[in-house]
Amino acid sequence: VGPGRGRRQGRAGPGRAGADTVSAPAQGGGSAVIDMENMDDTSGSSFEDMGEMHQRMKEEEEEEADGEAGAGEEEDGEFLGMKGLRGQLGRQVADQMWQVGKRQASRAFSLYANIDILRPYFDVEPVQVRARLLESMIPVKMINFPQKIAGELYGPLMLVFTLVAILLHGMKTSDTIIREGTLMGTAIGTCFGYWLGVSSFMYFLAYLCNAQITMVQMLSLLGYGLFGHCITLFVTYNIHFHSLFYIFWLVVGGLSTLRMVAVLVSRTVGHTQRLILCGTLAALHMLFLLYLHFAYHKVVEGILDTLEGPNMPPFQRVARDIPVVSNAVLNTTAKAIALTL
């Protein structure tokens, strides 16, 4: 090809006029004859013929180049042994792709899975947590001055988990035979749903009522308010008297609600706004405690009823005495099993 090319260029260089006709026979063997025939043919324009000639030239060059390259590769493959040119190229490409992929993955991971965003909210000492837990039960007196709320998430998160554990413990002391799995999901869903959902709702209301509070502070406030719930439920799940529950509900629940309300009031301006915010928060907080004590047991009993079938007498909703309840449950369960067998 080299000498062939040289010959062609040599021919085309000096004289342009004779280039078309003179250089034609110097190309590949077969094409020269054909081109000469085309040249002599006066039917079509020589323009198309020139185009065809150039196309054939290009194809021949490509074939020869491929042939050379193939020969070159084979030669190199034999020269380099087992790895070969293609093998080495392949390995290099794979290596590069792996590195690029790894870099991209680690960048994406460090960008999205960065838990350091939450780190400042967990920067507490145990004494601080204890102090805040106790403070959450003490209503503040100064409502004309915005009260400080610590934007911390460790205490509220632990309190929510404690509430879940207490709810589950309550099921155990009533000695009911239940599917733990469903109750676990319900307990976690209820507690987290309350904490996150009511916080978001109150934050939205606070935004409407122009209160000076951020989302993290709202989460923190409501979370620490659950301390009263935890105490109440822990006591009343072990000592089952409705009157005791009502006393605890009013006193403990009321204290924590008063604290939250006072803090919110100190951060809001205007009577109507204060009324809206505090009324909503107080209502939701106290009703949640009522729900946890009464209606949550109804959820449990509902599951128990569906498990035991419709021909069992419904649970009597009286002040519970544990031995009586557990005996009744055991008796009804035994009856159900005897009936199904």
Which of these, 163, 217, 166, lies nearest to 193 by C-alpha position? 163
Q: What does the alpha-carbon distance between residue 301 and residue 307 come to, in Å, rounded to a whole number?
A: 10
Window 92-121: residues binding another protein (CB under 8 A) = 92, 115, 118-119, 121
Contacting another protein (CB under 8 A), which of 16, 43, 82, 125? 125
Nearer to another protein, 177 or 239 (CB): 177
144: buried, middle or exposed (CB in 10 Å: 19+, 13-18, 0-12)? exposed
Quote the DSSP letter at residue 122: G
Cβ atoms of 244 and 227 within 8 Å: the answer is no
Which of these, 161, 206, 205, lies nearest to 184 by C-alpha position? 161
Window 193-222: residues binding another protein (CB under 8 A) = none
Please list the alpha-helical segments (H only) found in the chain.
Answer: 2-12, 19-23, 29-40, 46-80, 84-112, 126-135, 154-173, 180-208, 215-238, 242-248, 254-266, 271-290, 296-308, 322-340
Task: Based on the shown chain and the rule CB under 8 A, indicate whether residue 340 belongs to the binding site for another protein.
Answer: yes
Contacting another protein (CB under 8 A), which of 165, 215, 231, 284? 165
Task: Based on the shown chain and the rule CB under 8 A, indicate whether residue 181 belongs to the binding site for another protein.
Answer: yes
Task: Based on the shown chain and the rule CB under 8 A, indicate whether residue 131 belongs to the binding site for another protein.
Answer: no
Task: Based on the shown chain and the rule CB under 8 A, indicate whether residue 2 belongs to the binding site for another protein.
Answer: yes
* Token pair belonging to 257: 């609600």
First to last CA, the chain: 96
Residues in CB range of 84: below 8 A, 6 or more apart: 76, 77
**What's the min distance (Å) between Cβ of 221 and another protein?**
20
Window 293-332: residues binding another protein (CB under 8 A) = 307-308
Residues in CB range of 319: below 8 A, 6 or more apart: 240, 241, 242
Cβ atoms of 317 and 193 within 8 Å: the answer is no
Task: Based on the shown chain and the rule CB under 8 A, indicate whether residue 180 belongs to the binding site for another protein.
Answer: yes
* Token pair belonging to 287: 């009703």
Nearer to another protein, 65 or 269 (CB): 65
Contacting another protein (CB under 8 A), which of 122, 241, 246, 294? 122
Cβ atoms of 280 and 211 within 8 Å: the answer is no
Task: Based on the shown chain and the rule CB under 8 A, indicate whether residue 88 belongs to the binding site for another protein.
Answer: yes
Task: Based on the shown chain and the rule CB under 8 A, indicate whether residue 143 belongs to the binding site for another protein.
Answer: no
**What's the min distance (Å) between Cβ of 288 and another protein?**
21
Nearer to another protein, 45 or 340 (CB): 340
Binding mask 6-45 for another protein (x = CB under 8 A): ----------------------------------------
Contacting another protein (CB under 8 A), which of 13, 14, 126, 313? 126
Task: Based on the shown chain and the rule CB under 8 A, indicate whether residue 335 belongs to the binding site for another protein.
Answer: no
Q: What does the alpha-carbon distance between residue 25 and residue 53 come to, in Å, rounded to a whole number?
A: 12
Nearer to another protein, 170 or 225 (CB): 170
Q: Would you tell me which residues interact with another protein (CB under 8 A)?
A: 2, 65, 68-69, 72-73, 75-76, 80, 83, 85, 88-89, 92, 115, 118-119, 121-126, 129, 154, 157-158, 161-162, 164-165, 168-169, 171-172, 177-182, 184-185, 307-308, 333, 336-337, 340
